[in-house]
Amino acid sequence: MPTLTYPNLGKPVIPWKPQDLFIYGNDGYWPDGENPADGRLFQDVAATIPGTTFGQPVGLAQRLAGTANLQQATAAARPTTAREPKGGRRNLLAQSLTQNNIGHGTATAVDDGPLSVEYSWNAGSTDIFSSVGVLWPAADVLNQRVVLSCYVKPGDNQYIYISSNSFGTQSNVGVKGRFDKITGAYTPLFSQNATYHASGIDEVSSGVYRVWISVTQPGNVGTKAFSVFCSNEVFTSTSTIILGTAPPASNFRVGSWQVERGDVPTPYQKVTTANDVTETGVPDMWSLRTDGTDDLMASTETFDVNKPWYFAVCAMIESSGGASGYENNLFGLQQGLINRLHLAARSAGTRTLQIYHRSAGGAQVATPLPPGGTFDYAYGVPFIVEGWAAGGGSLHCSINGGLTRAVAYTPGATPVLAPLQLGGGSGIAAAHYYDALAIQRIPSDAERAALRARWAERYLP
Partner 1 sequence: MSDWIRVTIACPEAMIADANQLASVLGFSAADANTFGEPVWQDAEGNRYAVASTLAKPAFVTDAMSPLLEPPWGADMEAAARAQEWLAVFDPATDSAPFANPVHLAAVLYADAPEALAILGVTPVASE
Answer for which of 96, 275, 329, 367 binds partner 1 (CB under 8 A) is 275
Interface of this chain with partner 1, residues 137 to 166, rule: CB under 8 A: 138
Task: Report the alpha-carbon distance of residue 176 to residue 191 in Å, rounded.
Answer: 6
Residue 28 sits at the vertex; the CA angle it makes with 298 and 316, to the nearest 5 degrees, is 60
The whole-angstrom distance between residue 169's C-alpha and the CA centroid of its chain comes to 32
Considering only 76-84, 182-190, 251-259, 359-367, which stretch makes contact with partner 1 by CB under 8 A?
Answer: 76-84
Q: Are 172 and 178 in contact (CB under 8 A)?
A: no
Answer for which of 274, 333, 343, 381 binds partner 1 (CB under 8 A) is 274
Answer for which of 325, 368, 391, 401 binds partner 1 (CB under 8 A) is 325
Regarding 422 and contact with partner 1 (CB under 8 A), the answer is no
CB nearer to partner 1: pick between 57 and 154:
57
* Min CB(73)–partner 1 separation in Å: 3
Q: Are 332 and 438 in contact (CB under 8 A)?
A: yes
Regarding 269 and contact with partner 1 (CB under 8 A), the answer is no
Q: How many residues bind partner 1 (CB under 8 A)?
A: 36
Regarding 54 and contact with partner 1 (CB under 8 A), the answer is yes
CB nearer to partner 1: pick between 226 and 326:
326
Smallest Cα–Cα separation from 283: which of 37, 57, 43? 37
CB nearer to partner 1: pick between 221 and 312:
221
* Min CB(380)–partner 1 separation in Å: 14
Task: Report the alpha-carbon distance of residue 383 to residue 459 in Å, rounded.
Answer: 8
Which residues, at least 6 apart from 105, have a Cβ–Cβ distance to it below 8 Å? 119, 120, 121, 122, 125, 130, 131, 132
Task: Report the alpha-carbon distance of residue 246 to residue 231 in Å, rounded.
Answer: 8
CB nearer to partner 1: pick between 324 and 364:
324
Regarding 50 and contact with partner 1 (CB under 8 A), the answer is no
Task: Report the alpha-carbon distance of residue 166 to residue 244 in Å, rounded.
Answer: 14
Answer for which of 109, 185, 323, 407 binds partner 1 (CB under 8 A) is 323
Smallest Cα–Cα separation from 147: which of 227, 215, 217, 228? 215
* Min CB(415)–partner 1 separation in Å: 27
Regarding 75 and contact with partner 1 (CB under 8 A), the answer is yes
* Min CB(56)–partner 1 separation in Å: 5
CB nearer to partner 1: pick between 74 and 237:
74
Regarding 273 and contact with partner 1 (CB under 8 A), the answer is yes
Regarding 304 and contact with partner 1 (CB under 8 A), the answer is no
Considering only 13-21, 200-208, 259-267, 422-430, which stretch makes contact with partner 1 by CB under 8 A?
Answer: 422-430
Answer for which of 26, 28, 35, 44 binds partner 1 (CB under 8 A) is 44
CB nearer to partner 1: pick between 44 and 279:
44
Beta bridge partners of 345: none
Smallest Cα–Cα separation from 292: which of 138, 106, 149? 138
Q: Are 327 and 342 in contact (CB under 8 A)?
A: yes
The whole-angstrom distance between residue 44's C-alpha and the CA centroid of its chain comes to 25
Regarding 424 and contact with partner 1 (CB under 8 A), the answer is no
Smallest Cα–Cα separation from 314: which of 91, 87, 63? 87
Q: Would the CA dihedral through 436, 438, 443, 445 be positive or negative?
A: positive
Interface of this chain with partner 1, residues 383 to 412, rule: CB under 8 A: 405
User: Mask: binding to partner 1, 326-365, rule CB under 8 A, as x and -?
Assistant: x---------------------------------------
Regarding 109 and contact with partner 1 (CB under 8 A), the answer is no
**3-state DSSP assignment of residue 424:** coil
Regarding 37 and contact with partner 1 (CB under 8 A), the answer is no
* Beta-carbon count within 10 A of 410 CB: 9
Smallest Cα–Cα separation from 245: which of 79, 373, 359, 127? 127
Regarding 53 and contact with partner 1 (CB under 8 A), the answer is yes
Residue 46 sits at the vertex; the CA angle it makes with 45 and 47, to the nearest 5 degrees, is 90
Regarding 453 and contact with partner 1 (CB under 8 A), the answer is no
Regarding 42 and contact with partner 1 (CB under 8 A), the answer is no
Answer for which of 76, 234, 282, 407 binds partner 1 (CB under 8 A) is 76
* Min CB(258)–partner 1 separation in Å: 18
Smallest Cα–Cα separation from 126: which of 250, 233, 243, 249? 243
* Min CB(35)–partner 1 separation in Å: 15
Q: Find the farthest-apart pair of alpha carbons in the chain and give their distance in angstroms, rounded.
A: 101
Residue 89 sits at the vertex; the CA angle it makes with 88 and 92, to the nearest 5 degrees, is 160
| Footprint on this chain of partner 1 (rule: CB under 8 A) | 44-45, 53-57, 73-78, 80, 94, 138, 273-275, 291-295, 318-319, 321-326, 405, 426-427, 430
